[in-house]
Amino acid sequence: MTDDIKCIIGLEIHTQMKTKSKIFCSCPVTESEPNTNVCPICLGYPGTKPMLNKKVLENGVKIAKALNCNIPQHVFFSRKSYFYPDMTKNFQITQYEIPIGLNGNLSIPWEGKSIKIRIKRAHIEEDPGRLEHVGGDITNSKYTLVDYNRAGIPLIEIVTEPDFTNPEQAGVFLKKLRAILEHLDVYDSDMIMKADANISIQGGARVEVKNITGFHNIMKALEYEYNRQRIMAKQGNFVKLQETRAYSEGSKTTKQLRLKESEADYGYIFEPDLSWQNMNTDRLSIIFKTMNELPDERIERFRKEYNLTPEISTVLIYTDKALADFFETCAKKVKDKVLLANWVTTHLLKCLNYNDVSISKSKLSPENFSKFVIMLENGELNERLGKELIKELVSTGKDVKKLMSEKNISVISDADIESGIVEVLKKNEKAVVDYKAGKVESFTFLLGEVLKKIKYQADVQKVKNLLEKKL
Ligand SMILES: [Zn+2]
């Protein structure tokens, strides 16, 4: 869409950081029965003191570094005071004054170029408990249960400047961010990503869509709000007062929660039970040394090692780190890396999406898929037969050779193709005469007939060559 309505989007992304235990106690972070992963510290008993999980700080440093942020020399934690049943202490331990990362940036690929999105800050905090409004939502349920298993789970919050001009850019950013977190091993693809989004049209007031859960919903909410405000703006009707809206998954729309709200005064105070953390150069360089390869570095390596274009590597790496890992395992066996990458990013990915399954949860092993691509490489399979097989390889996990014999699929010999050609030519004498008289379409017709005759069980190019020879 090209018109002069300029849109501005900024994001605040919250996600869990991967650790074995909670941020300030040794309770596990695994899924369990409600209120079983708890202790006096995460339940906020008076007299208990938090102890910082060093792994959380390390993860925070890695994220800040990957987002090109400044990491302050000293960091500390603060108490954000509020009274709510999901927070037993009546305050949340977070970073406010000095976060782990400040003033960074992340470049994203956009329309063949690279654009820089500024990162305002990245800070570490603890998750509160989870409220369950039984039989409805907060406005109509009869009673509410609370589960403190989540209380004290470490989170990272990443805040961008309002640098996106449309939802698709925000989508690319989120995919790249997710890939970075996965590559740093501080995030698992089944962890939930949440976002608050600020959206406005130049000339209008700011709208904040709060608490959107999951990548898919974030995109839907952004698209809806973007289109709503653009349509309003085209009619000369701008958002006049700053407002907060909520996204509804059911109706896929946003609705107004409240108008014009200033930043709530949470009365942040320094957390006296946790010491200042000295982030000196020595300490930081030890952490930096343990950082894994990042997506941009991997894209460059894929170009050098496998001769892949940045576009195809981006699909492999941004979709799911496990998909890029799967490709690399197969690449150890398959000679033609480009053919392999093409099959992974087109037909395989399509099948996975269709079945709504990730590569790590699918039944297809890299060994089996390598065997399959090697057969394509050797001409023992062609694209058409391959497309037919791949669906079942993904859903059943059966060995490719076994599956081919079960389905009676094979590529036929040259002699069989030739006898097929002879039969087709005999039946279609007129087309042969037309072709010889210079009618090119007749060749396409004859080729189609031969392919039908041999049930597509051969490479099309090969059939074409043989048919040309015969004619
Ligand atoms: Zn605990």
User: What tokens does 144 get?
Assistant: 């509410």
Is pLDDT above 50 for 1?
A: no
How far apart are the CA of 311 and the centre of ligand 1, in A? 45
CA of 27 to the centre of ligand 1 (A): 4
% residues pLDDT > 70 (the chain)? 98
The CATH T-level fold of domain 414-470 is Arc Repressor Mutant, subunit A (1.10.10)
Helix (H, G, I), strand (E, B) or coil at 425: helix
Beta pairing, strands 253-259 & 243-248: antiparallel
Quick one: tokens of 271?
């957390």
Token digits of residue 323: 């998909």
Distance from residue 124's CA to the centre of ligand 1 (Å): 17
> What DSSP string describes 49-82?
-----HHHHHHHHHHHHHTT-B--SEE--EEEE-
pLDDT value, residue 118: 98
Domain boundaries, the chain: 7-191+262-285, 295-406, 414-470
How remote is the CA of residue 195 from the centroid of ligand 1, in Å? 26
User: Could you report the per-residue pLDDT of 2-14, keeping only the tens digit for each?
Assistant: 467 899 999 999 9
Query: Which of 85-94, 357-366, 457-466 has the weakest average pLDDT?
Result: 457-466
Put residue 307 in one of left, alpha, beta given phi > 0 → left and psi -120 to 50 → alpha.
left
Quick check: 321 and 358 in contact, CB under 8 A? no
Radius of gyration of the chain (CA): 29
Find the mean pLDDT for residues 293-313: 97
What pLDDT was estimated at residue 98? Answer: 92
Q: Which phi and psi angles does 220 have, rounded to 5°?
A: -60, -45
Q: Please tell me the distance between residue 131's alpha carbon and the centre of ligand 1 in angstroms.
A: 18
What distance in angstroms lies between residue 26's CA and the mean position of ligand 1's atoms?
Answer: 6
Given a cut of 50, whether residue 73 has pLDDT beyond it is yes
| Ligand 1 centroid from CA 50, angstroms | 9
Tell me the per-residue pLDDT of 235-269, one tens digit each, with 9 for 90 and over.
988 888 889 998 988 889 998 887 765 666 778 99
Kindly give the distance from the C-alpha atom of residue 223 to the centroid of ligand 1, in angstroms, as a whole number: 39
Q: Categorize the per-residue pLDDT at 303 as very low, low, confident or very high, splitting at 50, 70 and 90.
A: very high
pLDDT band of 455, cuts 50, 70, 90? confident
Residue 446 CB neighbours (<10 A): 21
Distance from residue 16's CA to the centre of ligand 1 (Å): 16
pLDDT in tens, 34-55: 999 999 999 999 999 999 999 9
Among 154, 194, 155, residue whose Cα is nearest residue 174: 194
Show contacts of 362-366: CB within 8 Å, 24+ apart: 362/394, 362/397, 363/394, 363/395, 363/396, 363/397, 364/393, 364/394, 364/397, 365/397, 366/326, 366/329, 366/330
